[in-house]
Amino acid sequence: MFRLIVCLLFSYSVFANDTLAPKLVPEGQSFEEFLSDIRQQAITRGVSTATLNQAFSGLTPNPKVLKLDQTQAEFSQNFWRYLGSRVSEYRLHNGTQKLKLHQQILQNNYQKYGVPPHIIVAFWGLETNYGNNTGSLSLVRSLATLSYDERRRDFFTEQLLTLLTLIDKNKIPFDAKGSWAGAMGNVQFMPTNVAAYGVDADQDGEIGLWDNTADIFASAANFLQKIGWHRAERWGREASIPKNFDYQLANLGTKKTVNEWQSLGVRMAKGENLPTSTLNASLILPMGHSGPAFLVYRNFRAILRWNHSILYALSVGHLSDRLTGAGRLYAKPIKEPSLSRDDIMHIQTKLNQLGFNTGEPDGISGPKTRNATREYQRANKRPIDGYVGYQLLQQLQ
């Protein structure tokens, strides 16, 4: 879920007063001692002393980064709020222009990797608003700060060491800037993703994720291909379901062919029959039984491997459809208050008290909370859709 956390927190303001920042850990090791240890590990990997001297010169931890890392989003957006803020008229207009402007490069990528232009542009739009928000913090300093903190030291140390290796190989500049969490460029790759999937498409020696469209698009397409994108297949489609539908079938763990979903009463959004197909699909209800429904295919799962958030993946899919001329969703928006972390913790605590195990309440609606919700709904003869939303909060209150 790390990428999801990054997306939720990226918009938070940087704290101006460093004295408000939490104390860095571990207490028994100074930052200089920590850098000395990183230096030795990097040298073992073949990073040159010259690169390390340049990267570490005057380096200090950034308290603002650690503060941002520890900040938790107060509210959990529901589907319509999330989609509305991401598939905006601004993104649609600019995305259409970007498709036309970069048509040739995108088509060349499609021939090589099998990922359509509108999919690449949709990712680009959601990740950085077409390159307008790539981050302004030193990647070396941010990752050194996060690596120095013990909470996720292994993860961020690997990112830092990989970043230093990329710098040493002249793949990216030593003073490169990105998000507070170390994501970089137009498509917000972490260093390990740059190393594994970054493409120097124009063969100039660098992986130009900031201002080189050939490298940006090729890297994104290569990543999607490697994580399971299948050429000439849809990501999914909006669907409609009958009133007597078994909502327990609506989850990513249930796969049926399109023909089987048709036999269960699932139709296209406006009620037409689904196309005849043996392609496997899952049905998801991002706002429960009263909200929109989507049949999603294996390319949807590839989007989830980029960012493990159903709302993010649906937004990429819908934005990509709109960029090809599709209209708005057929389902009518539902006005529903967002839940705060305290609200979700209340739901978790109450479900635990009633004997439906959500685990330790943490204010995050994960699989265990959704499963407990289904058990509660089953016991109380309510639609078993597992949706943790405002209606559930009202019922439990």
- List domains and CATH numbers for the chain: 2-72+135-179 (1.10.8), 339-396 (no CATH)
Eight-state DSSP code of residue 289:
E
- CA quadruple 128, 295, 237, 89: dihedral, nearest 10: -40
Q: Where are the alpha helices (DSSP H) in 22-138?
A: 31-44, 49-56, 63-70, 79-86, 89-101, 103-113, 117-128
pLDDT score at 28? 72
Express each pLDDT in 36-63 by its tens digit.
999 999 999 999 999 999 999 999 999 9
Residue from 98, 86, 170, 180 nearest 131 by CA: 98
Cα 64 from Cα 44, distance rounded (Å): 30
**Dihedral sign (CA 178, 184, 185, 186):** negative
How many angstroms separate the CA atoms of 338 and 354, rounded? Answer: 24
d(CA 392, CA 26): 41
Mean of pLDDT over the chain: 92
What phi, psi does 214 have (nearest 5°)? -60, -45
Give yes or no for a contact between 79 and 286, defined as CB atoms under 8 angstroms apart. yes
Contact 81, 314 (CB under 8 A): no
pLDDT range class, residue 3, cuts 50, 70, 90: very low
pLDDT at 366: 86
What is the tens place of the pLDDT at every residue in 277-328? 999 999 999 999 999 999 999 999 999 999 999 999 999 999 999 999 999 9
| 58 secondary structure, DSSP code | T
Query: Which residue bears the tokens 């669907």?
Result: 239
pLDDT tens digits for range 77-117: 899 999 999 999 999 999 999 999 999 999 999 999 999 99
Compute CA 178 distance to the chain's CA centroid, rounded to the nearest angstrom. Answer: 16
- How many residues are listed for the chain in this entry? 397
Q: State both tokens at 312.
A: 């993010």
Confidence of residue 20 (pLDDT cuts 50, 70, 90): very low
